[in-house]
Amino acid sequence: MHKYCEVMGIGLSQPVSSKVVHRYGNNLFRVGAATMHGWRETMEDAHSLVLSMPRHPNCGFFGIFDGHSGSLCSRYISQQLPKAIDEVEDLTDTETLRKVVMKTDQDFLDSPEFSNKDDGCAGLFTIAIHDSTTNTYSLINGNVGDSRTVLARKEGDTYKAIACTQDHKPTDEAERRRIESAGGHVQYSRVDGQLALSRAFGDRMLKHPIHAPPEQRKVTSNPDWMVTQVTKDDFLFMACDGIYESNVFTRESVVQWISNQLTKTDDIAAICASVLDECLTRGSRDNMSCIIIQFVNGETYNRQGHEFLPGPWHDEDGDTKFQEAYIKDAQEAGYTLQAALELRKQQLQSSQTTTADPNTT
């Protein structure tokens, strides 16, 4: 479900199932990520993959920013938040981090470049801190909105799903109290009958009273935090709500899905792509983005740039919205339509060859 009522029901005639896949790694992290446009008219998700922060080289920053009413806010926050957090001296100081997160939101709202825009986004971000003395990792998991971070804790031969975030919904009692104290109301499970999130970046029309501290406004960018420790056997799964809408996946079932895939391949970026395909099959109608982080040396996994996996093209007359969305996706991945269709043809031929000969490498 889209975050705003006024655009509910608007979408494409068929989904753009092209995917952009990333494979990153350094001496501390092994990271796979994938994004898919899906049924929406526009792709509004953005993400951050920073394996080594400039001022904190033993720390990584990973985030997903699920946009609504546009992509300006999600892109801005994905680019500016890791920079702002890198300026914090002590990355375990969650109160300072809280102020930095809300200031980054206010910087977006105050920017003349975006002064006439009502874009907003949910935000999910993890600061992963490596202690070289003990060779352990601490995760500072932040959340604004309804995207989700799940830790897959290895227990014997299985993984246990541990929620590292909780959704921020207007119907939650504490959220409702803040909304009403700020002069708002909850209608149709939405802030002022409009926004399905009680916390978000952007959304200037609901950041009232403007004179109030950011954490006291109807819609706030005040993050919740969860700190946890991980081992080399665990993995972290971060995803926008398109993975979970209408119970397409639950936290537990998506961890189980990934763990099953890990018995077949160690290519976590390909597993991310398979999660998105499965979500589309199960009925998700949102943009989709997800990240898997493993806490091991990933230097041999690192790839420059990204891989583009074009989906089916439909050239029916009158289906211009789909065609425009497909072409824009291809262009943002660095391809013309013709090049994307040729790449899809090559990938299909390669897949058919591999299927016909299981020994093909």
> Mind giving me the DSSP string for 78-96?
HHHHHHHHHT-S-TT-HHH
Q: Total structural domains in the chain? A: 2
Rounded distance, CA 87 to CA 75, Å? 20
Find the CATH number of the domain harbouring 172: 3.60.40.10
Rounded distance, CA 281 to CA 285, Å? 10
Task: Find all residues with CB under 8 Å of 334, minimum gap 6, and list them.
Answer: 308
pLDDT at residue 178, as a whole number: 98
Buried b (16+ CB within 10 A) or exposed e, 311-337: bebeeeeeeebbbebbbebbeebebee
| CB of 5 closer than 8 Å to CB of 188 | yes
pLDDT at residue 351, as a whole number: 84
pTM (2 decimals)? 0.95
184 within some domain: yes
For residues 271 and 321, state if they share a domain.
Answer: no
For residues 270 and 339, state if they share a domain.
Answer: no
For residues 286 and 317, state if they share a domain.
Answer: no
7 within some domain: no
For residues 108 and 177, state if they share a domain.
Answer: yes
For residues 294 and 160, state if they share a domain.
Answer: yes
Rounded distance, CA 333 to CA 21, Å? 10
pLDDT at residue 356, as a whole number: 58
222 within some domain: yes
277 within some domain: yes
Residue 298 to residues 24, 228, 302, Cα–Cα distance (Å): 7, 21, 6
pLDDT at residue 354, as a whole number: 66
Task: Give the domain-ending residue among 303, 327, 342.
Answer: 303
For residues 213 and 327, state if they share a domain.
Answer: no
78 within some domain: yes
Rounded distance, CA 341 to CA 348, Å? 11
pLDDT at residue 10, as a whole number: 60
For residues 60 and 126, state if they share a domain.
Answer: yes
Tell me the pLDDT of the chain (361 aa) as tens digits. 456 554 444 689 999 999 999 999 999 999 999 999 999 999 999 999 999 999 999 999 999 999 999 999 999 999 999 999 999 999 999 999 999 999 999 999 999 999 888 999 999 999 999 999 999 999 999 999 999 999 999 999 999 999 999 999 999 999 999 999 999 999 999 999 999 999 999 999 999 999 999 999 999 999 999 999 999 999 999 999 999 988 899 999 999 999 999 999 999 999 999 999 999 999 999 999 999 999 999 999 999 899 999 999 999 999 999 999 999 999 999 999 999 999 999 999 998 876 655 544 3
| CB of 221 closer than 8 Å to CB of 214 | yes
For residues 47 and 105, state if they share a domain.
Answer: yes
Domain span at residue 211? 17-303
For residues 181 and 318, state if they share a domain.
Answer: no
Count of Cβ atoms closer than 10 Å to residue 56 Cβ: 20
253 within some domain: yes
For residues 66 and 210, state if they share a domain.
Answer: yes
For residues 331 and 201, state if they share a domain.
Answer: no
2 within some domain: no
For residues 250 and 315, state if they share a domain.
Answer: no
- CB burial of residue 179 (10 Å; 0-12, 13-18, 19+): buried
pLDDT at residue 165, as a whole number: 98
83 within some domain: yes
Task: Give the domain-ending residue among 303, 318, 333.
Answer: 303
- Of 91, 120, 46, which is closest to residue 291 (Cα–Cα)? 46
Q: Which residues pair with 64 in a beta bridge?
A: 47, 124
Task: Give the domain-ending residue among 282, 303, 324.
Answer: 303
- Of 204, 230, 207, which is closest to residue 220 (Cα–Cα)? 207
